[in-house]
Structure 1
Amino acid sequence: MEAGGSRTATEPSSAGGGPSPYIPAGQSIAELTIKAVVIGLALNVVMLTANMYLGMRSGMTISASIPAAVISMGIFYGLRRAGIGGTILENNIVQTMTSAGEALAAGVIFTIAGVTFLDQPIDIVGTAAVAVLGGLLGVLFMIPMRRYLIVDKHEELPYPEGTACADVLEAGNEGDDGVKLISFGFIVSFIYMWLANGMAAFRTTLQTAFSAGQTRGFAIGGDFTPALVGVGYIIGPKIAGYVFGGGLIAWMMLIPLLITGGFVPESAADAALIAQADAVWDEYIRYVGAGAMIVGGFYAIVSMRGTIVDALGTAFEELRGSAATATDSRKRTQRDLPMKLVVGGAVLIALALVAVPQVQVGILGGFIAVIAAFLFVAVSAYLVGVVGSSSNPVSGMAVATILIAALALKSTGVNDPVVVLMTASVVAIAAAVAGDTSQDLKTGYLLGATPRKQQIAQVIGIALSALFAGWILYFFNEAYGIGSDTIPAPQAGMMALISEGVLTGTAQWGMILIGAVFACVLILMDVPVLPFAVGIYLPITLATPIFLGGLLRAGIDKYVARKDDEDGTLAAQATSRGRIVAAGLITGEAIMGIVIGALYITGTGAASGAPFALGLAGDTQTILGGVAIVALIGLFTASVLRNTGNVADA
């Protein structure tokens, strides 16, 4: 085991206001090494491939940071047995590089894959160019915001995956009670998701729709998976409540009003009530969420204006040479890549967007892409601090970009939806990468990593992912056909549809305006806009389990508070234990997602549905799904409260 001290939720840092890092700023250990880079690059390609497949199959990707950290710990454990060893900060570099592939995959499959719906082939070189330019923008634009979001807003923005990843690495490094806790959470989640998705023993998604009087279409439900419950526990009841509140407004207010008023898409007119609710959400409510996110994004930028101005001021000083050594004079844990590199890199990328013919965005598209990327990098970096990377609504930001870009481009006579789609692709990739980068930097902040080295690792990971992304996308299109039953790529299809819709004048501008007005009302009420906007945009099946996890956190905290002493030691201990178990839940589901994806890719088991389905009836699966979530909550609670007060804080 390497040297290093435990970090607790209540221990102040030497600088004040934040936790003490696991590795103190004054201590230097191996971090960005060749060993870490090689392992990180290998895992990067694996996660990139798995997430591109899963994302096109299900419409969602998985956060790779935690599974990468767990896999990396296993590799380093084997290396230690061989006498080679590795440090916790090397482990952190591995997960940083690995997660870059997952983040870039989300942006690519949600947007670039949409060209196939427009009867265009996959351009391997063009995909690589857009991916690397958008990914680098995401990393560069996140750098000036790091201190504000990661350090200054430490208490407000928990960054659930980033915090959980730090807990995972610390638990593995210390090898004590924390390892047992995370292993327990991992095993429970792994088995849970294998039974649900590998064998179809029960349903994780439980939802229903009903009528009240003359009003039809009230809908409620949840996709009760361990990872979503774990995310809710980590972010806590307050933020989880905001997300759930947005979901209730969408599914228990707006959708019933639209269905009762006859605004049901023709394709779902004769469908069951829950299918009608889903169709209305897809056709109208997403636009409401996108409108709210546009206003919320601008408001977030305005709220961060002081930080952004200070960061840009520092950049200009460095460009003039008056602060060339300022970064190097800071503590190790405060050193970012030079601001002049951020400015110079952004300028070069903007030029490349216009000059590289395969990118196809033109001068106006390139300008829109850079400005929108800057806006939504800030939005994404903030949002993942609230709801986590797995729930980061990258597609919503892409929709907002498509709306803006299509309007601007249409006014200049552009009528090619591919140009609009490529412009949105740059922004979607930048937003996805920025969300991942901020989670990784949060992990590094808690562990005592050097931000500059993490940022370099992220750039290396982005470059490799971009080189492979086009080939992988081409392979899946040739093997299965993007848009087929095997990989329907729902997000990409929606982006292509909206791009054409705006250019042809069929977009839902009224719904966008409603969302924008709703966001303005929330701002006037001093209520956080973006969590509510996320709740409106995401399916209620995601908001509900996150809220359940938040309620679980509140219940455990209240129970422990009754037994606690005056200094709050017991409460801090329970919080730490719960966070580690939640990290295990997230890890187990993520790794099982990769396992299921590998089974599909290799053709093992059934070609559709669960690979090894038990053949249970639907009603039986539903009942067992209810039993499973109750059992999951019981096991989680028991693991957190068991021996609390008798073991050292993990």
Structure 2
Amino acid sequence: MATESGTSTETTDVDPYVPADSSTTELTVKAVVLGLVLNVLLMAANAYLGLRAGLTISASIPAAVISMGLFYGLSRIGIQGTILENNIVQTMTSAGSSLTAGVIFSLAGVAFLGESIDIVTTATVSLLGGILGVLFMIPMRRYLIVDQHQELPYPEGTACADVLQAGEQGGRGVRFVSLGFIVGAVYMALADIWGVIRTTIEGAFAVTNTRGFALGGDFTPALVGVGYIIGPRIAAYILGGGLVSWMMLIPLLVTGGMVPPDAAGGTLFEQANAVWSSYVRYVGAGAMIVGGLYAIASMRSTILDAVRLAGAEFSEGLNGDTDRKRTARDLPMAIVVVGAAIVAILLVVVPQVQVGLLGAAIAVIAAFLFVAVSSYLVGVVGSSSNPVSGMTVATILVAAVVLRSTGVSDPVIVLTTGSVVAIAAAVAGDTSQDLKTGYLLGATPRKQQIAQLIGIGLSALFAGAILVFFNQAYGLGSQTLPAPQAGLMALIAESVLGGTANWGMVLIGVTFGIVLIMMDIPVLPFAVGMYLPISLATPIFLGGVLKALVTRYVERTGDEEATERATLNGRIVAAGLIAGEAIMGIVVGAIRILGVGSGGTIPFPVGVGDQLSLWFGIVAIGGLLAFIAASTLRGAKDTGDVEELY
């Protein structure tokens, strides 16, 4: 609502866990230190996942669970931690993971342009984009988090608040995430270190005179875990997009003789891959442009409300909200406006960025618009399903067309402009979830926003080093780390500036996106599936199906608390699996960089043979699914309240 002066007051029908008139320890040195440590660990894990699968997950819940375990251990030596300190830890940790998502979806694309990844440039762009993401979210907090509390659930933020409240009682959730971590790490060690199990099954086939149908899957713990977290609906949309590409468009193009010349002599699956890379991904890009623009149009009232609120509150100065209760105090609007202006200036004058005045203007304006879109969308679908790549595609296309008209020919400039927007949108989505958690717990928004900025600062320092590490260990664009979004962004920037963009395929994607909107089907998950390799969409869908089966089984008992426990347990176990695979990916990468072992794809092969490793892989994926289901159901069937589980 609004006061007569036009500024917003904070009214709510929610009773926070910590009352507004209570003073509880919050932003402390020990919380910051723990947050910084977990920040680096989970941002590396999320970077691996995003480069491998083209998707990332919210680190809030695993960070909250690990934080509870650490504070529980510290309590044994007399160092206590409050629930709001735990909230600060997860806030800082998730900041790193969200910033990484923006980096790997955009800035990593320089590797596809034949350029080296510069650590200083990556750190600078990451820092500036991350700061914009936090600042631009602040004027929208009251409308999206408070006023729209019933309409926007913010699933990860609400679940994280539940976990933190439950964590006041005990510690089984720590065991769940630890067990998932161990299983994920051992599984990938068997696959990538010893070669005992084979995770990838894929191939292409023909039906009469139609050639190029392709199916397959890379069945690893992280991909199945992602599918379990995002659920069957979104996972089905992603697979649907994959099927449109690999079972409809690609066979049509292969059969029609549109295989690129350099792939014409390859296997049928190699031909299908070449057609996907050269043509079909542009269709996905066109669909994502429509999805991004449609999201902005749907949010026009929210964006205008945020602008009006920012202008009204700016007049209050640096300390205009001192009369508000603790749980309603944001960073002052003067800091937001001045901070954004400083970032815009730095985008022009800092040598490592050099996007120019026009590029900076495009970056800041697009960042504000897509921060609003991102902050709203994660309230509906969650951070793990936040279509940051779609927003980045739209920005890069606009930036490339506009900058080309001014004589710009360097695709790195376009990519850098889009990267600022991608990072800002990813960080804003995470900030929204964290502020929702804080709103339910009774945290001070201003302190969470400060924690976010601290986390962004540390994450930016490590972002470039993490990209360089994975590029040296696996190679960005390799089968292990295909980095699909980054490759697409580089392709769009280079082709538009070079005049070789396949606008016909983009137009097909635009038309496809419009048809999806007319049918009331989400565009962006479909588009993601269209430019992901089918081998990634399949295991994600498998995880979503498992989630549906487990949920339906629990719901048949009629026990609502059991259903709630199953949801929380499954999410935490899946997060552990993802972290375990990601950390093992870092270990394997280190082995490759150091040159230890055989020097081949598998550093220490045990020689089981391709056929036997395939059968072991089939057994392993069955065991993995059984493990997820059994661990989730075991906790759900336990007696007692949900609080006793964590």
With structure 1 as the length reference, what TM-score do the two structures score? 0.84
1:625 to 592, 617, 632: 617
Distance 1:361 1:578 in 2: 45
- Relative to structure 1, the CA distance from residue 40 to residue 563 in structure 2 (aligned partners, 3 Å threshold; closer, same or farther) is closer
2:6 corresponds to which residue?
A: none
Q: Tell me: CA distance 1:583–1:485, structure 2 relative to 1, closer, same or farther (3 Å).
A: closer
Contact 1:383–1:531 (CA under 8 A) maintained in structure 2: no
1:538-589 per-residue CA deviation (whole Å, 9 max, x = no partner) reads 333343333333333333343334432xxxxx13422322432331222232
What's the offset of the Cα at 1:473? 5.7
In structure 2, distance between residues paired with 1:107 and 1:401: 13
Structure 1 SS opposite 2:295: helix
Alpha-carbon distance, 1:168 to partner: 5.3
Q: What are the residue-to-residue correspondences of 1:132-211 with 2, within 5 Å?
A: 132-146=127-141, 162=157, 165-166=160-161, 169-170=164-165, 172-175=167-170, 178-179=173-174, 181-211=176-206
Which residue of structure 1 aligns with residue 93 of structure 2?
98
2: distance between equivalents of 1:249 and 1:156? 32
1:614 aligns with 2:606: yes
| Corresponding residue SS for 2:197 | coil
Give the conservation status (yes or no) of the 8 Å contact 1:112–1:127: yes
Shift of 1:365: 0.9
**550-559 or 86-95, which moves further after superposition?**
550-559
What secondary structure is seen at the aligned counterpart in 2 of 1:174?
coil
- Report how many residues are paired: 629
Q: Please give the alpha-carbon distance, in whole angstroms, between the structure 2 residues aligned to 1:122 and 1:245.
A: 34
Tell me the residue number matched to 1:31: 26
- Which residue number corresponds to residue 576 of structure 1? 565
Aligned match of 1:214:
209
Moved more, 520-529 or 157-166: 157-166
- Range 406-415 or range 139-148, more displaced: 139-148
Note if contact 1:189-1:584 (Cα within 8 Å) is conserved in structure 2.
no
Deviation string, structure 1 residues 263-317 (Cα, Å, up to 9, x no partner): 2233332333333333322222222222222221121122222222222211111
Of the three residues 233, 241, 261, the one matched with 1:246 is: 241
Asked if residue 646 in structure 1 is aligned to residue 639 in structure 2, the reply is yes
Q: Which residue of the other structure, out of 311, 314, 325, is the alignment partner of 2:309?
A: 314
Q: Distance in 1 between matches of 2:162 and 2:220?
A: 20
1:459 aligned onto 2:448: no
Aligned equivalent of 1:546: 540
Aligned equivalents of 2:577, 2:506: Cα separation in 1: 38
Deviation per CA, 1:513-538: give whole Å up to 9, x if none: 22222222222223332333333333
For residues 433-492 of structure 1, what are the alpha-carbon distances to aligned partners after superposition, in whole Å with 9 as ceiling and x for unaligned? 234334434544554433332221111121233344456667888999878999887765
2:586 aligned residue: 597
CA–CA distance in structure 1, aligned partners of residues 577 and 41 of structure 2: 17
Alignment match, 1:503: 497
Query: Is the 2:217–2:534 Cα contact (8 Å) retained in structure 1?
Result: yes
What secondary structure, in the 3-state scheme, does the structure 1 residue paired with 2:352 have? Answer: helix
Give the direction of change, closer, same or farther, for the CA distance of 1:540–1:516 in structure 2 (3 Å limit). same
Moved more, 420-429 or 172-181: 172-181
1:318 Cα shift?
0.9
Corresponding letter in the other structure for 1:101: G
Contact 2:52 2:481 (8 Å CA) reproduced: yes
Residue matched to 1:587: 576
Tell whether the 8 Å contact from 2:202 to 2:217 is kept in structure 1 after alignment.
yes
User: Distance between the aligned counterparts of 2:630 and 2:117, measured in 1?
Assistant: 50
With over 3 angstroms needed to count, the CA separation of the structure-2 counterparts of 1:190 and 1:15, relative to structure 1, is farther
Deviation, 1:81, is: 1.5
1:110–1:38 CA distance, 2 compared to 1 (3 A):
same
Alignment-mate amino acid for residue 590 of structure 1: A
Aligned residue in 2 for 1:129: 124
The one-letter amino acid of 1:617's match is: G
Take 1:464 and 1:613, find their aligned partners in 2: how far apart are those partners? 38
Q: In 2, are the aligned partners of 1:240 and 1:550 still within 8 Å (CA)?
A: yes
2:335 equivalent to 1:346: no
Write out per-residue CA displacement over residues 193-248 of structure 1, whole angstroms, 9 at most, x where no aligned residue: 44334443323333343333332223333333344444444444333333333333
Using a 3 Å threshold, how does the CA distance of structure 1 residues 485 and 151 change in structure 2: closer, same or farther? same
Q: Per the alignment, in what secondary structure is the counterpart of residue 215 of structure 2?
A: strand
Query: Which blocks of at least 5 consecutive residues in structure 1 are unaligned?
Result: 1-13, 565-569
Structure 1 position 169, deviation (Å): 4.2
Query: What letter is aligned with 2:523?
Result: V
Q: Distance in 2 between matches of 1:541 and 1:150?
A: 37
Structure 2 Cα separation of the partners of residues 608 and 70 of structure 1: 37
Q: Deviations over 1:403-428 (max 9, x none)?
A: 22111111112222232222122122
Report the counterpart of residue 256 of structure 2 in structure 1: 261
SS of the residue 2:214 aligns to: strand
Query: How many angstroms apart in 1 are the aligned matches of 2:155 and 2:218?
Result: 18
Return the letter of the residue paired with 1:365.
G
Q: Paired residue for 2:3?
A: none
Q: Is the 8 A contact 2:65 2:174 kept in 1?
A: no
In the alignment, residue 504 of structure 2 is paired with which amino acid?
G
Give, in angstroms, the shift of residue 63 of structure 1: 5.4
Matched, 1:88 2:83: yes
Structure 1 residues 263 and 156: alpha-carbon distance in aligned structure 2, compared to 1, 3 A threshold? farther
- Deviation digits for residues 147-179 of structure 1 (CA, Å, limit 9, x no counterpart): 565567778877665566556545544225545
Greater shift in the superposed pair: 281-290 or 67-76 = 67-76
Relative to structure 1, the CA distance from residue 180 to residue 421 in structure 2 (aligned partners, 3 Å threshold; closer, same or farther) is: closer
Give the drift of 1:378.
4.0
Native 8 Å contact 1:160 1:231 kept in 2:
no
| Aligned equivalent of 2:517 | 523
Do 1:295 and 1:520's aligned partners in 2 also have CA atoms closer than 8 Å?
Answer: yes
The 5 Å alignment of 1:187-586 reads 187-321=182-316, 325=320, 329=324, 332=327, 334-381=328-375, 394-445=388-439, 447-470=441-464, 492=486, 495-564=489-558, 570-586=559-575
Verify the 8 A CA contact 2:139 2:310 in the aligned structure 1.
Answer: no
| Residues 1:485 and 1:577: Cα distance change in structure 2 (over 3 Å) | closer
Is 2:42–2:579's contact at 8 Å kept on the other side of the alignment?
no
Contact kept, 8 Å, 1:327 with 1:336, in 2: the verdict is no
Q: Secondary structure at the match of 2:434?
A: helix
User: Could you tell me how far 1:186 is from its partner in structure 2?
Assistant: 4.2
Shift in Å at residue 56 of structure 1? Answer: 6.4
Counterparts of residues 67-82 of structure 1 (less than 5 Å): 67-82=62-77
Corresponding residue SS for 2:637: coil
The alpha-carbon distance between structure 1 residues 455 and 412, as it changes in their structure 2 partners (threshold 3 A), is same
Query: What secondary structure does 1:252 align onto?
Result: helix
Superposition RMSD in Å: 3.8
TM-score between the two structures when normalised by the length of structure 2: 0.84
Counterpart-to-counterpart distance in 2, 1:539 and 1:445: 39
The 3 A distance-change label for structure 1 pair 534 and 32 is same
Structure 2 letter corresponding to 1:640: T
Query: Relative to structure 2, which stretch is displaced further, 26-35 or 486-495?
Result: 486-495
Summarize the Cα distance change of 1:187–1:441 in structure 2 as closer, same or farther, 3 Å threshold.
farther
Select between 343-352 and 498-507 the one with higher mean Cα deviation.
343-352
Among the aligned pairs, what percent are the same residue?
64
2:641 partner amino acid: A
Gaps of 5+ in 2: 1-10
Deviates more, 1:76-85 or 1:533-542: 533-542
CA spacing shift, 1:183–1:581, aligned 2, 3 Å: farther
CA distance in 1, matches of 2:482, 2:302: 42
